[in-house]
């Protein structure tokens, strides 16, 4: 069974061997597609997942440069997925993209190991600017 079996929107990363990689984890197919478009327009080879458990497993297998993670996911929530990724020693940049707006939710995400937090609905240009800033840091 392939680790990447449930990702019909995935990019074939073999064609992007020299570019940064990203994993998108969101259960909403429209948001997942938009995030994929934003990241690919920024030059990232992107794989997508619709639940926290598969997203965390993929992040550990792929070791992407960037992960976008929703919080409210079926099965394992995004906070637990982030904890597992960090507990395994991954130092990838994690941006939470969530509909949860409370300070307590944001603090939980940062405590779990998130680097940034963007609330839904988000502005694609703002998210792209954040990704571009990260890309500049990665290329140094």
d(C-alpha 44, C-alpha 47), whole Å:
9
pLDDT in tens, 48-77: 999 999 999 999 999 999 999 999 999 999
The yes-or-no verdict on residue 127 having pLDDT over 70 is: yes
d(C-alpha 39, C-alpha 135), whole Å:
10
The residue assigned the tokens 């990689």 is: 21
More confident residue, 38 or 1: 38
Q: How are beta strands 21-25 and 66-69 bridged, if at all?
A: parallel
The residue assigned the tokens 């300070």 is: 103
Cβ neighbors of 25 (< 8 A, separation 6 or more) are 48, 49, 50, 51, 52, 54, 55, 59, 67, 68, 69, 70, 73, 78, 81
pLDDT band at 31 (very low <50, low <70, confident <90, very high): very high
Dig out the tokens for 77 from the structure: 């929530």
Global confidence as pTM: 0.87
pLDDT in tens, 91-125: 999 999 999 999 999 999 999 999 999 999 999 99
What structural domains and CATH numbers belong to the chain?
19-135 (3.40.50.2300)
The yes-or-no verdict on residue 43 having pLDDT over 80 is: yes
Lowest mean pLDDT among 8-12, 37-41, 91-95: 8-12
pLDDT in tens, 12-27: 443 456 889 999 999 9
Question: With contact defined as beta carbons under 8 Å apart, do 116 and 122 qualify?
Answer: no
């Amino acid at each position: 069974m392939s680790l990447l079996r449930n990702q019909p929107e995935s990019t074939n990363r073999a064609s992007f061997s020299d570019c940064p990689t990203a994993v998108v984890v969101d259960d909403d197919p429209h948001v997942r597609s938009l995030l994929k478009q934003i990241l690919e327009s920024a030059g990232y080879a992107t794989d997508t997942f619709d639940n926290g458990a598969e997203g965390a497993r993929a992040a550990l297998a792929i070791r992407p440069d960037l992960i976008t993670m929703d919080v409210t996911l079926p099965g394992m929530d995004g906070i637990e997925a982030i904890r597992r990724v960090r507990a395994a020693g991954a130092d990838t940049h994690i941006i939470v993209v969530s509909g949860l707006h409370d300070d307590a939710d944001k603090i939980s995400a940062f405590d779990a190991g998130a680097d940034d937090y963007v609330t839904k609905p988000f502005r694609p240009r703002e998210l792209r600017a954040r990704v571009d800033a990260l890309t500049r840091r990665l290329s140094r």
